[in-house]
Structure 1
Amino acid sequence: MTQTVLFWRRTDVHGLERMALGIEADRITATSSVVSLDAGGFRLDHRWLLSPDWHALSVEIERWNGAGHGALRLERHGRGWRVDGAERPDLDGAEEPDLSITPFCNTFPIRRVPETTDACLALDIAFIDGPALTVARSRQRYDRLGPRRLRYVDLGLSQGFEANLVVDDAGLVVTYEHLFERLTPSA
């Protein structure tokens, strides 16, 4: 198993994420904690199970804020999704989840965008609002600008939002314009 620890800093509000990413032959796991002063301040833990080809199978989320503790589980079910065990037909056909408070989810579609400049991928997603613990269908597009450079375009809930992204060789975000940057811990 390959184990990597990643850190991202929010650039628009005070916030930090620490993620442990494990890659095995038959699965990928990620366990992360986010602490943020956004939305009144919160801590959010999220645990992912992915297929070896980087498709999300499930995510479990726990949130602590001024209102107390909350939890949410999203899991793939055929061509759709279950939220806390209940089928959600409105999410049928959504290809991947996107958790609002982390750049990690961008990796799932980024890895599927062809490497040629000007290639693009549009997809429906199950958008998870981390602080609110709600799930809604949305749509987004990724445009390849060059090697390790993409443009994110929101076509759904936040229509009009766009950002340039720089990724590493694995498709993990290094910089996400307006929102995130990866940090390297000091030795």
Structure 2
Amino acid sequence: MRREHETLFWRRTDVQGLERLLLSVSTDVVLIKSTVVCVEDGGYRLDHRWTLTPDWRALSLDVERWGAAVHTRLTIERTDGGWKVDGARRVDLDGAEEPDLSVTPVCNTFPIRRTPVNEGASLTLDTCFVDGATMTVARSRQRYERLGPDRLRYVDLGLSAGFAADLQVDGRGLIVRYQHMFERIEPSPGLI
């Protein structure tokens, strides 16, 4: 089994923050391990780990958050037709297609990869929205509108109804620029 590894970085553009993400892709699984450090909400570090199917559908998400002397953790797991949060079935999340973690743009890739490629096409879905500040999970709705081969418009139809942002993506559907929030950056060359 051949596995490809890549490290990606995103900078927050709305507040001071940085994410370092390790992406590992093989023919049978996609694994994501990431750390976000941000000064908003009193300053925190948030680690998130994803296990995805080869077609980029989330099977599980583990999130740990460290803030001012507080450590919290939550786990989301896909079940037949629904989701478990910290081991408990959440019927209010039945039918939600993917988790959406507020502090990272990587989870936008999952629906972006399923949005039809023809300009003007769109995809509307319900998500298990994870608020990284409060570590809560709630159902929310969003839409992705295709503006071009590497451009989409994100429209929140749920918990943050009225919020919209233009997204620029690479050929894999990974965010390059998320208007108002994130931009991918390249690390400086390391010392030899």
Query: Aligned residue for 1:14?
Result: 16
Residue 164 of structure 1 is matched in structure 2 by 166
C-alpha separation between the residues in 2 aligned to 1:114 and 1:73?
A: 30
Q: Aligned-pair distance for 1:29?
A: 0.1
For 1:182, which of 160, 181, 184 is the aligned residue?
A: 184
Q: Which residue of 2 aligns with 1:135?
A: 137
Instruction: Find out whether 1:89 has 2:98 as its counterpart.
Output: no
Residue identity opposite 2:164 in structure 1:
E
Amino acid at match of 1:156: G
Does residue 106 (structure 1) correspond to residue 105 (structure 2)? The answer is no
Structure 2: stretches of 5+ with no match in the other structure: none
- Name which of 14, 26, 29 aligns with 1:27: 29
Name segments (4+ residues, structure 1) moved above 2 Å. none
2:74 and 2:6 mapped to 1: Cα distance?
25
TM-score (norm 1): 0.99
SS of match in other structure, 1:108? helix
Structure 1: which 5+ runs fail to align? Answer: none
Matched with 2:146 is 144
Equivalent-residue separation in structure 2 for 1:68 and 1:99 (angstroms) = 19
More divergent stretch after superposition (85-94 vs 64-73)? 64-73
The residue identity in structure 2 corresponding to 1:97 is P
In structure 1, the residue matched to 2:60 is: 58
Query: How many correspondences in the alignment?
Result: 187
Q: Does residue 73 in structure 1 map to residue 75 in structure 2?
A: yes
> What are the superposed Cα offsets for residues 30-73 of structure 1, whole Å, 9 maximum, x if unpaired?
00000000111110000000000000000000000014100000
Q: Which residue of 1 aligns with 2:125?
A: 123
Distance 1:131 1:166 in 2: 25
Distance in structure 1 (CA, Å) of the matches to 2:169 and 2:187: 18
- Give how far 1:22 is off: 0.1
Q: What is the DSSP-based 3-state SS (H/G/I as helix, E as strand, rest coil) of the residue aligned with 1:131?
A: coil
- CA-based RMSD of the aligned residues comes to 0.5
Q: Does the residue aligned with 1:186 lie in a helix, a strand or coil?
A: coil
Task: Decide which moves more: 62-71 or 162-171.
Answer: 62-71
Query: How far apart, in 2, do the equivalents of 1:103 and 1:81 lie?
Result: 21
Q: Structure 1: how far apart are the matches of 2:145 and 2:139?
A: 20
- 2: distance between equivalents of 1:131 and 1:93? 25
Query: Which amino acid in the other structure matches residue 18 of structure 1?
Result: R
Does the residue aligned with 2:110 lie in a helix, a strand or coil? helix
Instruction: Choose the corresponding residue for 1:39, options 13, 36, 41.
Output: 41
Paired residue secondary structure (1:118) = coil
Deviation at 1:113, TM superposition (A): 0.5
